[in-house]
Amino acid sequence: MPHHKQFEKTLRQDAKRRLRNRTQRTRLRHAVREFRAESNPATAAGLLPQVAALLDKGAKTHLIHARTADRLKSRLALQLQRLQGTPAA
């Protein structure tokens, strides 16, 4: 058991944050998986802005690293180009 009252509060805060982060991270991963599984270019084009917004929000709140979010957005955009038949640059 904690010896200080402040540490008890810290444990409570950590539990709340862990639950919130896990929920957000799961939502983010499911969105990326849903986009990658999409085979219809029109639907994928509609999903990309939503997934990119989730990635940006995750990076802003330090859920994932900013460069990881940028890398994922870039790879998803390339996948969309390939789906649409546009040659990747």
Is 55 within a domain?
yes
Examine residue 89 and state whether it is found in any structural domain, yes or no.
no
Residue length of the chain: 89
pLDDT at residue 2 greater than cutoff 90: no
* Any domain includes 51: yes
Asked if 58 and 64 touch (Cβ cutoff 8 Å), the reply is yes
Domain count across the chain: 1
Whether the CB-CB separation of 47 and 37 falls below 8 Å is answered with: no
Q: What is the CATH number of the domain that holds 75?
A: 1.20.58.110
Q: What is the pLDDT of residues 19-38, one digit of tens each?
A: 999 999 999 999 999 999 99
- What range defines the domain where residue 43 resides? 5-84
pLDDT band at 89 (very low <50, low <70, confident <90, very high): low
The answer to whether the CB of 78 falls within 8 A of the CB of 88 is yes
